[in-house]
Structure 1
Amino acid sequence: MPNNLLEELLHNLPKVDLHLHLDGSIRESTLWEIAAQQGIELPAARAEDLTPFMKVTGECGSLLEYLEKFDFVAGFLHQAEVLERIAYEVVEQAAEQNCRYIEVRFGPQLHRSEGLSCEEVIDAVLRGLRRGEADFGVIARGIAACLRHHSPHRNMEVIEAAAAFRERGLAAVDLAGPEAAFPAHLHRAVFEYAQLLDMPVTIHAGEAGGADNIHEAIVRLGASRIGHGVRLRENPNVLNLVRERQIVLEMCPLSNFQTKAMESWETYPIREYFDAGLKLTINTDNLTVSDTSLVKEYTVLIEKFGFTPSEIASLILNGVDAAFLPAADKERLRADFLQAFALLGLRPPAPPSSISAAG
């Protein structure tokens, strides 16, 4: 298929993004305006000159180097109106990609330096997502992230606040941050509490740490989805556990490459995992930091791993099935996607016998 027709097809696909960070998806122009409003001087003469500070333009040496891009924007995100605006604009960016459903994750404790409570942070983000839903027709839900380098007490505050918004657009809780330095077992009690409150759980694991972190996330922290999971194959027993339990991997190819989650594209196991019957989803991670879109992510799969458009459609349907939504909502969304795929001439695999219980 000619490149222009392939790009058009990929753009026209209805899409799902389950792993999307709010603070990694801020437009340079928006940060420029926020800085002007807050009277903060920036190390650039124009908005477009902020790119080196906000985007990975080549390769990173590590996940920690990648995370430095977040440090640059962190000081601007402590007012409710700012959080509402960037959440709204993330939905707008999703609509530009023909994305029909997104889950936007953010760390409430990261946005409190000017006096907001965890509850106020969550409320502001959800207001922005709801406004975006109304204006752009994208279903948008939030995921509240605990941070590995925070104390269990601070993370307990996040879980408790998140549970209060469960029926108001907050879909799940997460554990993110420097995986190698702060293993998940430090937060067992936090996620036991989340399970007691019946909060769905997704955990970043198998990105900068090994397969044992994935095992811990599933068995002890209650994860039904794993953020990234690149290093799963390091332990065949854990890989079999993931396959048997139908644990979903939220893979983010360009981000995984940039953070050195794998040595090279040749060693990236996405084709291996797909052929082994694992439940994979394809996501952007950070629209701005990774300078990416879902079309770019799908193009990587096609050009480097030989995925077909029909296989891409099946990965998108995995995202529908794995969404933290009630089963009836997922069934409606799946039906809409299948209809859209048929109009594009794609025939993904038949739907499974039952919708995933992630929601």
Structure 2
Amino acid sequence: MTIETLADLTDPARTPRLVVKVGSALLVGKDGQPRRAWLAGLAAEIAAARARGQQVIVVSSGAIALGAAKLGLAKGGRGSLADAQAAAAVGQIALAGLWAELLGAQGLTAAQLLVTLEDLDDRRRYLNASATISKLLEAGAVPVINENDSVATQEIRFGDNDRLAARAAQAAQASAVALLSDVDGLYDRDPRQPGATLLPRVQGVTRAIHDMASTASTSGMGSGGMTSKLQAAEMAGRAGIVLAIINGTHDRPIARAVEQDIGTLFLPRRRDKSLKSWLGGRQRLAGALVVDAGCAEALARGGSLLATGITATEGAFKRGDPVAVKDADGRILAHGLVEYDAGEVAAIQGHRTEELEALLGYAPRSAVIHRDQLVLL
């Protein structure tokens, strides 16, 4: 059974496992204090979902905002990396306690998972996180996941919890992600403009869909905008996971969205296997291979990446590293696990297969990136 409407998000047969993402502006008021009444309503919605037979994972922002209020830091704790890290260290304790209290009032046990980009980009650590989430759900707990902002840096971080929610959904093998936002969903233009129309359903995220998005975070408190939500929809969609954007500013927002059918549902066009969905969702790559038009066409038909189609090599990657595959215009076509070190690829790029042994000094592998280790974006 597949998800086709917002109402399906509350159907345990269609959505047995749901990820709910809560942003900072929804969780924390402008005074820096948690919005307890609103959160209590959301906790009740999570309890209702559990009573229906659904498993729920929460991806919760708010640690930096809560910690900044306690420490008296300017700009909500986002004035500098050091401020954000210090605020997160203080605020994460308050955030975990808040969820434990509110879910506990509903008879549920909260479990905290703090992750970094590397935890979910490294295959072994990703599988460990997946196993932990599954065990917690089997035990009846509600995992509450957040980026570990006290150690994350600008270079090694998700940057927003929209993409973290999609990545967590992949790891949890969830059916759907509900991003609670400050707007009703995706509009065909800036929703503040006259005549802007809400898009109820989107079948795959295309370049035209991206052109509709705004990168701004309207609250000034969070780090995401509509662009990050579309990137999350792409990431979830590669694993066959539905993603919904719904307005979280109302009381019991999930029930409102479902009952009134207000929101945007992103329906996936594919379902990659576990390895490929993980590979497609990687944000940090070790380098890139630039390919010609003929090679790009062969990849689109399901072929492997051969040396003859490579025109340039970027980065200092090693065999087994994840790399991007780009066309001549710099557009990323795919991610893949490369079979050679960067120096070897540079030596064989543009050469035919029968020439490679003489160039390498040993029998070549079947491809620079085998199609089983490559995912088209």
What is the TM-score when the length of structure 1 is the normalising length? 0.34
If asked which structure has higher relative contact order (CA below 8 Å, sep 6+), I would say 1
Tell me which protein shows more strand as a share of its residues: 2
Larger Rg: 2
The two structures have a TM-score, normalised by structure 2, of 0.33
